[in-house]
Chains A and B, each alone.
Chain A
C-alpha cells in the first residue's frame, strides 16, 4: 500500500533553534518527493522537490534530504524564526505515466516556534 508517514505529528521549539522533520514513504514506483509549508488558513507553498538521483536540496534555511534506498526524507530548518510556525507536508509522487504522477500526502508536522 502506498503511504507517506511523517513524524513527529507536532513539535514546539524556541526561536533560533534548529529542528528536523521526518518523512518515510512506501510509494512505488517513486517519481519525486516534495516538501510543502502550509500556514494556517492558506494553501501550501512548495519548499523543495527532489528526484531519485538527488539526495540534498536547499531553499534558504530549509534543507531537505532524500535516501531513496531506505525511502526516507528529512527537512531540516536552521535558526528557526517565528514565521516558520506552520504545517510541513511531505508529498511523494508515484510514476503513473500521467503528467504529475499520482500524489500521496503525509499528514504533516505542525511546527510551533516560540519566542
Chain B
C-alpha cells in the first residue's frame, strides 16, 4: 500500500507570491490533515478535511486555505506569502474507521522557503 505522498517536496517562492501544495492520502483514507512545522513553533495544526468538508481549523490567518477533492486528495494554498511562512508543511491521512483513535500517517512534507 503506497504511503502519503506530497508534492512538491521542495519549493522556493518570494514574498507576495502564492503557493499550492498537494497531498495524496493512503488509498481508502478519507481524512486529511495539514500541519506547519517550524523550528520556533514546532508542529501546528492547520486544518482537517473529511469527505470534502473542512471539519476543523487551527489558528492561522485566512491566507491559508485548503480543499479536498472527491478522491480524497487535498490541496493547501497560501496566498500573499510572508517570510514567516517558511516551514515544513506536513500532510497526514487516516481512515477514521475507529473514530478519533485512528493512526495518522504522515507524508514526507513539502519544504517551503520564502525569500
Contact = CB atoms under 8 A, between A and B. Distances in A.
Interface string B83-103: 000000010101010011111
Interface in B29-56: 31, 33, 35, 42-45, 48, 50, 55-56
Interface stretch (A18-26, A37-45, A61-69, A71-79): A37-45
Contacts of B31: 99-100
A36 B104 CA distance: 10
A105 B100 contact: no
B45 A103 contact: yes
Interface string A65-100: 000000000000000000000000101010110111
Contacts of B58: 102
Contacts, number: 70
Contacts of A112: none
A108 B44 CA distance: 12
B100 A43 contact: no
B104 A46 contact: yes
A51 interface: yes
A46 B50 contact: no
B25 interface: no
Interface in B53-97: 55-56, 58, 90, 92, 94, 96
A34 B45 CA distance: 14
A69 B112 CA distance: 40
Interface centre among B33, B44, B103, B104 (most CB of A within 10 A): B104
16 contacts: A31-B100, A34-B104, A43-B108, A43-B109, A49-B101, A49-B103, A89-B42, A98-B55, A99-B31, A99-B50, A99-B56, A99-B100, A100-B33, A100-B104, A103-B45, A105-B45
